Amino acid sequence: MKRILILGAGTSGTMMANHLNHELKNLKEEWEIVIIDENETHYYQPGFLFLPFDIYTPEDIQKPIREFLPDDVKFFCEKIGKIIPADRKVITENGDTFHYDILIIATGTSISPEETEGMLGEEWRKNIFDFYSFDGALALRDKLRDWEGGNLVVHITEMPIKCPVAPLEFAFLADSYFKHKNIRDRVNITFVTPMDGVFTKPKATHALEHLLIEKNIHTVPDFAIERIDNENKKIIDYVGKEVPFDLLVTVPTNKGHEMIGRSGLGDDLNYVATHKATLQSKSDPNIFVIGDATNIPASKAGSVAHFEAEILTENILHYINGEPLLEEFDGHANCFVETGNGKAILLDFNYTHEPVEGTFPFPGVGPLRLLKESRMNHMGKLAFRWIYWNMLLKGNHIPFISTNMSEAGKHFDNA
């Protein structure tokens, strides 16, 4: 029996287990699929943005991993110790050994607050919070329920981060949240970023900067944090620039799984060197990488993982059959950006094309509008949670949404 071993049962790993189980159903005597994750719970990560504002409850965004895996796929809840590519095996921290013929790394990315001096100081989870972890988002919800106002600083430590629009969405939703509580006049919102603009793509930056001004959110660009002064409650950058805070909501440095580093497969942030069009690892032909774990120049986001999963599934079948791999992944990302007050913007872009204006998914019709604020876009974002739990994880194709970026109905500039 040959084995496909998937490391990580998050969005990417779960989608791959479902796709491959379906595609290999006639080869069950020959191939087995095994998936390992250190958790029993699957989190709907886009929900971490809504949890702090009491829009979603914890129950809305967590379900057992096992519920989303096919019965034929074997799931082990263990911590991964190390990958040994030369021996085609993975060792867990319990000391169990899993051999593989094909390995899929889907171990994602997570926060490393310890990378910044002072971040884990005495103010951590008192007046310094993250919302990129379930615990962080929940602690922040409890803090915001009682907070009476002051300087709210929303901060990105360094790029790349998962879902690069999320910090901006947080600032927009905070504006809305405090307006509804009738304390917006007692809250200053400042958005602090290491980039020279608020987003990674110039065209979207322009649209988003306009919204920040409209919502009276102050922006501090080019801020590369050196340390946090807990005593005087301020963040300080490498040239000595200071931003004071009463409440700091930061996105700490994001890193791949430390096991990647231990296995000698990672760069300085533990991301795996990956061919950007095939998703094969650059070091070993039988190791493939998907989602946030890769070092490819695409956004670290669920929509990207979804498009990657379709191409990676085909490539694994080609690999099994000894055929050349498709070089088809184009970096396609499709993101709803919450802008507060029940509205959202929709962005659609890839490796070579900037986010564009137009309609989506039907050219000229919509109903969703690209790069423009609308209520329908917000409804799309909320509906997405249902699509995620019921269709996306199970590997069902989402109607009308193509893997490669469609150019119809969109107004293009090249990136």
Partner 1 sequence: MLTTIANKTVSLNEEGYLTDFSQWDKTIAQEIAQQAGIDLTLRHWDVLNYVQDQYKKEIALTIRNVGKSGVVDIKEFYQLFPAGPLKTCTKIAGIPKPVSCI
The site for partner 1 (CB under 8 A) is made up of 158-160, 164, 195-196, 200, 222, 224, 226, 238-239, 268-269, 297-300
Kindly state the smallest distance separating residue 292's Cβ from partner 1, in Å.
11
Kindly state the smallest distance separating residue 237's Cβ from partner 1, in Å.
8
Nearer to partner 1, 224 or 383 (CB): 224
Nearer to partner 1, 237 or 327 (CB): 237
Nearer to partner 1, 140 or 212 (CB): 212
Main-chain dihedrals φ then ψ at residue 34, nearest 5 degrees: -125, 135
Contact predicate 24/31, CB 8 Å: yes
Kindly state the smallest distance separating residue 194's Cβ from partner 1, in Å.
8
Kindly state the smallest distance separating residue 289's Cβ from partner 1, in Å.
16
Nearer to partner 1, 195 or 391 (CB): 195
| DSSP bridge pairs for 236 | 227, 242
Distance CA 376, CA 342 (A): 9
Nearer to partner 1, 146 or 268 (CB): 268
**C-alpha distances out from residue 145 to 55, 127, 139, Å:** 12, 13, 10
SS3 call for 5: strand
Kindly state the smallest distance separating residue 354's Cβ from partner 1, in Å.
13
Distance CA 391, CA 247 (A): 38
Other C-beta atoms lying within 10 Å of the C-beta of residue 297: 9
Distance CA 164, CA 239 (A): 24
Nearer to partner 1, 57 or 283 (CB): 283
- State in Å, rounded, how far the first CA of the chain is from the last one: 47
Nearer to partner 1, 159 or 408 (CB): 159
Contact predicate 194/161, CB 8 Å: no
Contact predicate 131/241, CB 8 Å: no
Kindly state the smallest distance separating residue 158's Cβ from partner 1, in Å.
7
Strand order, beta sheet including 410-411:
333-340, 343-349, 366-370, 357-362, 410-411
Kindly state the smallest distance separating residue 269's Cβ from partner 1, in Å.
7
Nearer to partner 1, 123 or 292 (CB): 292
Kindly state the smallest distance separating residue 239's Cβ from partner 1, in Å.
5
**C-alpha distances out from residue 134 to 97, 129, 374, 410, Å:** 30, 11, 28, 36
SS3 call for 217: strand
Host H or E run for residue 340: strand 333-340
